[in-house]
Amino acid sequence: MTSSRLLALLLLLQTRHRITTGELAERLEVSRRTVLRDVDALSAAGVPVYAERGRHGGIVLLPGARLNASYLEPAEMDAVTLAGLDEEQRERLGVTGTHDMAMRKIAARRAGVEAASRSLAELVVVDNTSWFAPGRDVVNVGDLALDLRSDRRLLLRYRRSGALEAEAVVVDPYGLAAKAGRWYLVADVGGRGRLFALARLDGYEVTGESSHHRSVGLRGVWSELSAAVEAPGDVIVTARLRSNRTDLAHRVLGSRITASEPAGDGWTQMSIRYSTIEGVRQLLQFADHLEVVEPHEARTRVAELAADLARRHF
């Protein structure tokens, strides 16, 4: 028997007053027998709670009985401030337990107010994981988050995109960023901000040196770096795409599409922005649904790539 579980049991009953033993056991991740023992312990301590037998029975908290446990512990307040994370991200950060307890306290507080409608938590589900997401990263993001609290420099073993081997790099970390289901370490290298994808982080060590940060902070550096990643390029490619593929194009290309208009006969003309001509490689996935119109360099590059693919398949 733990005090935290007894508190969780009381908070659940405070929101509903009557809950089946099976549901409580599932919510608390214990057996039904354990739930009944906890109820006996609470009743012996003077809490007006009892087990009611029968088809419509369950564990009952007498109406009007309230526990003033709606304040949040510091760790729970930390967890609540991470409101944008989904269940998997909270679990990986190691804050699931404190977050769930905070939510129970908030729900218990809300139960004391007459609510005319359901809470948003019952109507909205947040899942930040991208479709067909790969497996978990080598580095545990929860452990990394705890180590970042020491405000020390880190020695990373990091593999750049496309590289076969990891290299060592010393960084001044600001913190972590979760974007589109992926985790990134935001840090300075030589006074300049960089993003390190945890998917390519083979490991790290906490050094004995204190971190040296610029005054902009985590959010400022993240804003700079994310804006640089999504900065529009100077190469504008004009392409014709079958109109029944425009929704797919907007999902894949996103803000790279700067203009789109019907071109007749079931085709749509689009303007797509890249930083270099090599960006047209991305358009090959549309296969025969797309034709690059201009500039000539982009059209020629697509022809070269398509010819190379054809040679490989014959």
- Domain extent, residue 307, equals 235-312
Q: Which residue has the higher pLDDT, 237 or 161?
A: 237
Based on the domain organization, do 157 and 221 belong to the same domain?
Answer: yes
Give the pLDDT of residue 81.
Answer: 60
Q: Name the band, by pLDDT with cuts 50, 70 and 90, for residue 168.
A: very high
Residue 264 falls within a domain, yes or no? Answer: yes
Q: Which of 244, 255, 177, 167 is nearest to 204 (CA)?
A: 167
Residue 294 falls within a domain, yes or no? Answer: yes
Look at the chain and report how many structural domains it folds into.
4
Based on the domain organization, do 213 and 160 belong to the same domain?
Answer: yes
Distance CA 123, CA 144 (A): 33
Give the pLDDT of residue 270.
Answer: 97
Interacting residues of 224 by C-beta distance below 8 A, sequence separation 6+: 193, 216
Residue 188 falls within a domain, yes or no? Answer: yes
Give the pLDDT of residue 256.
Answer: 93
Last residue of a domain, one of 18, 40, 61: 61
Residue in this structure with the two tokens 């405070």, named with its chain if needed? 14
Give per-residue pLDDT as tens, 9-66: 777 887 776 788 888 888 888 888 888 888 887 777 667 887 887 666 688 887 766 5
Lowest mean pLDDT among 2-16, 181-195, 233-247: 2-16
pTM equals 0.64
Distance CA 289, CA 310 (A): 17
Residue 303 falls within a domain, yes or no? Answer: yes
Residue 130 falls within a domain, yes or no? Answer: no
Based on the domain organization, do 201 and 271 belong to the same domain?
Answer: no
